[in-house]
């Protein structure tokens, strides 16, 4: 069934996923996915390999069929709409360039097929080529390009289109760190320029934090948490999100929660108001204490009189200088913790250090379910 | 790491390769040599003719001048018989008037070419769609169909000959010239279709599916992506399949000998060769030159296929 284009260029698409399940043969890879993406939003779906994020992207694109549930684009159910009728542009992880066509022909293929006027095609091609530094490469074939150049061609193919929705399937995964950093900026610039609703899939949490207006964290076919980068960074809902987002990962320490205090390797730490509300039996409760390495401060560098909690006598194992800060690997009792301290820290390997932190930055998790208390 | 071969080993390897080549090529060299020899040279075991003779080629290709052939006395007396009808006299005279039509190469060539090219073209078109469905689509019975086409090769041509001809007779096709040609065309298509399906199917599987998905995202329907993406990328394999089918049909003798037997004007080159072998004009130089002319198009096809088929056209499209 041929439908009219889903939307005009002036307004961008919204995407809604209602109760999506997806099975491949007997294996269920997506379980009850519910998500709403607003007009012009840049949403990043992040998670480990095999968590189902690319599958969601392909369902939205129409490249896979939904087992159960609805995919809505601009509040229209598109489950039965063919991919070539959805007016979506997509960057594939493996570029998927047309090998028999030049860079120019690759980029304008969709426009030529849609019989867009020649002068419009030329104008968009010129703009995209300039933005992506492809001007000198337009007559080359994909086999004559490097990986980074091919990826830029794949992006050029997307940005010249009259699409209301951009999909990016791990577009930077095959690039080196420097190029990846540069391309992140380009993607951000493209989004600022075109303001097209974009869904970006990656396994790299740095890309997720730097690119997304909102992040969707996924694991094993389920959405763990949706929120802005800072919401997810500061208030993860469970241990998985807490450790997946942030580099280095959040420290998760075994502890015992009692009325009024928490005990970590024999050290008692007073609770704050927020933590005091957690129900605790008289005999105490096992918990996992989570705190990000960034939130530790060397006691020697704290202001006199500052009311901070502290972990004392942490034995420094490894010190990794990172330019303007140091990453410390330490042990307290039998547990390892990481801390990111500033240059004023002088503790060396084998020395003991007292780490201070704000109790408000601490999260407590249930050791059985992993959920935040 | 491979051990480097010694000088002796290299010599032995080269010798073995030369022997193998000679073994394969010798019959063709012998054919060519005999076709260029005069009659006095036929008994000469040397492969190089003492004197090059192009007369056989000229006669077969129709470039020689019309010859007056002497009519034997006994035949002349027979022709003087007043009881002999004019038609019968003409028929007898025709056998002695000219040798220009011993092997009407041009006619046989055109017949063979049209039949082979037609069968190859139809087989290619059908195989394109069939191979695409085998390699890209998922539907019930796909595996059975994919393997089922091989049944064609499980029964030899000789066994199928009689039942197929009976079918042609019962349908009335075998009794008309165009019906026979159509029957033969269908047989050639069925003979070449399975191998075409397999060759193209395997090739389509090497084209990454993400390229078609990219075309879908660019607005192409499935048919459009076949036309705009798959086919241009498959040109080398399509040429190969066409040539392969062409050669199979070109060399086919068994079915042509039955279906076209009664229609001499529509004989193919293999049939023409066979007629030449048993005719009064079965002279060695003519037989051999006719064989060379028959196999020449096949050699040209192979040389074309080897020279013009380029390397992997899909290179660069996706990350390896």
Q: Is B217 in Cβ contact with A84 (below 8 Å)?
A: yes
Chain segment B220-273, per-residue pLDDT in tens = 999 999 999 999 999 989 998 999 899 999 999 999 999 998 888 898 988 888
User: Which of B127, B66, B112 shows the shortest CA–CA distance to B246?
Assistant: B112
Looking at the domain that runs over A15-244, which CATH code has it been given? 3.40.50.300
Instruction: Please give the C-alpha separations between residue B264 and each of B132, B145, B268, B287, in angstroms, as whole numbers.
Output: 40, 39, 9, 18
Are B283 and A68 within 8 A, CB to CB?
Answer: no
Query: Domain segments of chain A: what residues?
Result: 15-244, 251-365
C-alpha R_g of chain A: 25
Q: What is the DSSP string of A339-367?
A: EEEETT----TT-EEEEEE-GGG-EEE-T
CA distance B302 to chain A (A): 25
Residue A277's pLDDT is 76
Report the residue of A25, A91, A98 to disrupt the B interface, i.e. the one with the largest count of B CBs within 10 Å.
Answer: A98
Q: Is A150 in Cβ contact with B213 (below 8 Å)?
A: no
Residue A272's pLDDT is 75
Residue A90's pLDDT is 94
Number of A–B residue contacts, CB under 8 Å: 86
Task: Please tell me the distance from the alpha carbon of residue A120 to that of residue A123, in angstroms, as a whole number.
Answer: 5
Are A263 and A271 within 8 A, CB to CB?
Answer: no
Name chain B contacts of A113, Cβ cutoff 8 Å: 218-220, 224, 228
| Residue of chain A with shortest Cα separation from B219 | A84
Tokens representing B228? Answer: 């705009």
CA distance B225 to chain A (A): 11
Query: ipTM more than 0.90?
Result: no
Reading chain B (320 residues) residue by residue, the pLDDT tens digits are 667 778 999 999 999 999 999 999 898 888 888 888 888 887 788 888 888 888 888 877 777 655 555 677 777 788 888 888 888 877 777 666 555 455 677 888 899 999 999 999 999 999 999 999 999 988 888 888 888 888 878 888 888 888 999 999 899 988 888 999 999 999 999 999 998 999 999 999 999 999 999 999 999 999 999 999 999 999 989 998 999 899 999 999 999 999 998 888 898 988 888 877 776 656 788 888 888 888 888 888 878 777 655 555 666 677 66
Pairing state of beta strands A251-257 and A261-264?
Answer: antiparallel
| Identity of the residue in B218, B228, B319 whose CB atom sits nearest the CB atom of A94 | B319
What is the DSSP-derived secondary structure letter of residue B67?
P
Residue A184's pLDDT is 87
Name chain A contacts of B218, Cβ cutoff 8 Å: 84, 109-110, 113, 157, 161
Residue B61's pLDDT is 78
How many residues would you count in chain A? 373
Tokens representing B19? Answer: 């022997």
Q: What is the DSSP string of B210-224?
A: HHHHHHHHTT--HHH
Q: Is B233 on the interface with A (CB under 8 A)?
A: yes
pLDDT at A7 over 60: no
The residue-averaged pLDDT of A296-308 equals: 78
CA distance A100 to chain B (A): 7
Q: Where are the alpha helices (DSSP H) in A255-326?
A: 273-276
Are A268 and A347 within 8 A, CB to CB?
Answer: no
Report the residue of B219, B230, B234, B237 to disrupt the A interface, i.e. the one with the largest count of A CBs within 10 Å.
Answer: B219
Work out the pLDDT band at A2, boundaries 50, 70, 90: very low
Instruction: Please give the C-alpha separations between residue B53 and each of A111, B34, B40, B181, in angstroms, as whole numbers.
Output: 64, 9, 11, 37
C-alpha R_g of chain B: 26
- Chain position carrying tokens 């933590």: A275
Please list, in sequence order, all residues whose beta carbon lies within 8 angstroms of the beta carbon of residue A18, skipping any fewer than 6 positions away: A34, A69, A70, A71, A72
Task: Please tell me the distance from the alpha carbon of residue B144 to that of residue A25, in angstroms, as a whole number.
Answer: 20
Name chain A contacts of B206, Cβ cutoff 8 Å: none
Pairing state of beta strands A68-73 and A76-77?
Answer: antiparallel
B171, with CB counted inside 10 A (0-12, 13-18, 19+), is: exposed
CA distance A70 to chain B (A): 20
Task: Please tell me the distance from the alpha carbon of residue A193 to that of residue A354, in angstroms, as a whole number.
Answer: 48
H or E element that contains B144: helix B142-148
Task: Please tell me the distance from the alpha carbon of residue B51 to that of residue B42, in angstroms, as a whole number.
Answer: 11
What distance lies between CA A200 and its chain's CA centroid?
8
Between residues B74 and A329, the one the model is more confident about: A329
Instruction: Please give the C-alpha separations between residue A225 and each of A20, A216, B275, in angstroms, as whole numbers.
Output: 16, 6, 84
Class (C level, CATH) for A251-365:
mainly beta
Are A332 and A315 within 8 A, CB to CB?
Answer: yes
Query: What's the order of all strands across the beta sheet hosting A27-37?
Result: A27-37, A15-24, A68-73, A76-77
The residue-averaged pLDDT of A92-105 equals: 93
Q: What angle do CA B81, B86, B90 make, to 5 degrees?
A: 100
| Helix/strand/coil (H/E/C) assignment for every residue in A279-293 | CCCCCCEEEEEEECH
Q: Is B210 in Cβ contact with A99 (below 8 Å)?
A: no
Q: Is the dihedral of CA A113, A117, A120, A121 positive or negative?
A: positive
Task: Please tell me the distance from the alpha carbon of residue A349 to that of residue A78, in angstroms, as a whole number.
Answer: 59
Q: Is B219 in Cβ contact with A94 (below 8 Å)?
A: no
Residue B314's pLDDT is 67
Residue B67's pLDDT is 55
pLDDT at A9 over 70: no
Q: Is B218 in Cβ contact with A113 (below 8 Å)?
A: yes
Tokens representing A284? Answer: 């105490």
Please list, in sequence order, all residues whose beta carbon lies within 8 angstroms of the beta carbon of residue A22, skipping any fewer than 6 positions away: A28, A29, A30, A52, A55, A59, A64, A66, A67, A221
The residue-averaged pLDDT of A343-354 equals: 85
- Chain position carrying tokens 């076709």: B35
Tokens representing A31? Answer: 């379980």
Q: Is B233 in Cβ contact with A90 (below 8 Å)?
A: no
How many residues would you count in chain B? 320
Q: Is A146 on the interface with B (CB under 8 A)?
A: no
Name chain A contacts of B224, Cβ cutoff 8 Å: 84, 113
CA distance B243 to chain A (A): 23
Q: Cβ of A117: how many Cβ atoms within 10 Å? A: 9
User: Which of A172, A191, A192, A168 shows the shortest CA–CA distance to A182?
Assistant: A172
3-class DSSP state of B239: helix
Residue B48's pLDDT is 86
What is the DSSP-derived secondary structure letter of residue A300?
G
User: Which of B151, B256, B265 shows the shortest CA–CA distance to B197?
Assistant: B151
CATH number for domain B105-308, candidates 3.40.120.10, 1.10.3720.10, 3.40.50.10490, 3.30.750.24: 1.10.3720.10
CATH 1.10.3720.10 placement within chain B: 105-308
The residue-averaged pLDDT of A30-58 equals: 94
User: Which of A251, A263, A352 shows the shortest CA–CA distance to A300?
Assistant: A352
Count CA atoms closer than 13 A to B49's CA, side-chain side.
Answer: 19
H or E element that contains B254: helix B254-259
What is the DSSP-derived secondary structure letter of residue A92?
B
């Amino acid at each position: 069934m041929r439908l009219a284009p889903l939307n005009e260029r002036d307004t961008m698409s919204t995407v809604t996923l209602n109760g999506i399940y997806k099975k491949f043969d007997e294996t269920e890879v997506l379980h009850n996915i519910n998500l709403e993406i607003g007009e012009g939003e840049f949403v990043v779906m992040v998670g480990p390999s095999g968590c189902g994020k690319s599958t969601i992207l392909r369902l939205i694109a129409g490249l896979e069929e939904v087992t159960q549930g609805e995919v809505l684009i601009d509040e229209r159910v598109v489950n039965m709409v063919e991919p070539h009728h959805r007016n979506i542009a997509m960057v594939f992880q493996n570029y998927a360039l047309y090998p028999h066509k030049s860079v120019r022909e690759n980029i304008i293929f969709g426009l030529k097929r849609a019989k867009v006027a020649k002068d419009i095609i030329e104008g968009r091609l010129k703009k995209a080529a300039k933005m992506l530094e492809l001007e000198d490469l337009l007559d080359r074939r994909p086999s004559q390009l490097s990986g980074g150049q091919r990826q830029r061609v794949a992006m050029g193919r997307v940005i010249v289109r009259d699409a209301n929705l951009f999909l990016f399937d791990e577009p930077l995964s095959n690039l080196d760190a420097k190029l990846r950093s540069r391309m992140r900026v380009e993607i951000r610039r493209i989004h600022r320029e075109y303001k097209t609703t974009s869904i970006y899939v990656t396994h790299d949490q740095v890309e997720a934090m730097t690119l997304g207006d909102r992040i969707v964290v996924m694991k094993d076919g389920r959405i763990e948490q949706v929120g802005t980068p800072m919401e997810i960074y500061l208030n993860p809902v469970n241990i998985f999100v807490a450790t997946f987002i942030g580099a280095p990962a959040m420290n998760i320490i075994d502890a015992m929660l009692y009325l009024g205090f928490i005990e970590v390797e024999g050290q008692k730490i007073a609770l704050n108001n927020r933590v005091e509300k957690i129900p605790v039996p008289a005999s105490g409760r096992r918990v996992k204490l989570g705190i990000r390495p960034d939130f530790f401060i060397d006691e020697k560098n704290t202001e006199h009189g500052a009311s901070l909690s502290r972990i004392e006598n942490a034995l420094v194992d490894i010190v990794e200088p990172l330019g303007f800060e140091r990453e410390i690997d330490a042990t307290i009792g039998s547990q390892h913790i990481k801390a990111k301290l500033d240059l004023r820290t002088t503790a060396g390997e084998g020395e003991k250090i007292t780490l201070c932190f704000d109790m408000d930055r601490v999260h407590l998790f249930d050791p059985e379910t992993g959920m935040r208390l | 790491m491979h051990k480097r071969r010694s000088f002796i080993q290299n010599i032995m390897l080269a010798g073995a390769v030369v022997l193998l080549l000679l073994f394969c090529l010798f019959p063709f060299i012998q054919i060519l040599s005999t076709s260029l020899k005069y009659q006095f040279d036929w008994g000469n075991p040397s492969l190089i003719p003492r004197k090059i003779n192009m007369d056989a080629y000229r006669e077969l290709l129709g470039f020689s001048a019309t010859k007056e052939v002497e009519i034997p006395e006994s035949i002349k007396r027979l022709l003087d018989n007043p009881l002999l009808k004019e038609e019968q006299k003409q028929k007898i005279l025709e056998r002695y008037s000219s040798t220009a039509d011993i092997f009407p190469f041009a006619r046989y060539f055109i017949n063979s070419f049209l039949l082979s090219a037609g069968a190859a073209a139809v087989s290619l078109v059908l195989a394109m769609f069939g191979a695409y469905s085998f390699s890209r689509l998922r539907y019930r019975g796909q595996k059975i169909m994919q393997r089922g086409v091989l049944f064609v090769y499980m029964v030899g041509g000789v066994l199928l000959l009689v039942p197929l001809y009976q079918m042609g007779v019962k349908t009335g096709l075998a009794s008309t010239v165009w019906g026979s040609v159509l029957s033969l065309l269908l047989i050639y298509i069925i003979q070449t279709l399975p191998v075409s399906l397999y060759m193209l199917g395997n090739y389509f599987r090497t084209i990454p599916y993400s390229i078609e998905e990219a075309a879908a995202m660019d607005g192409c329907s499935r048919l459009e992506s076949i036309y705009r993406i798959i086919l241009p990328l498959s040109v080398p394999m399509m040429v190969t399949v066409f040539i392969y089918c062409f050669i199979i049909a070109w060399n086919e003798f068994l079915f042509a000998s039955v279906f076209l037997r009664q229609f001499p004007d529509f004989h193919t080159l293999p049939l023409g060769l066979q007629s030449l072998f048993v005719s009064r004009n079965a002279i060695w130089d003519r037989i051999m030159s006719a064989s060379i002319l028959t196999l020449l198009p096949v050699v040209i096809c192979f040389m074309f296929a080897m020279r013009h088929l380029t390397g992997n056209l899909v290179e660069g499209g996706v990350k390896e």
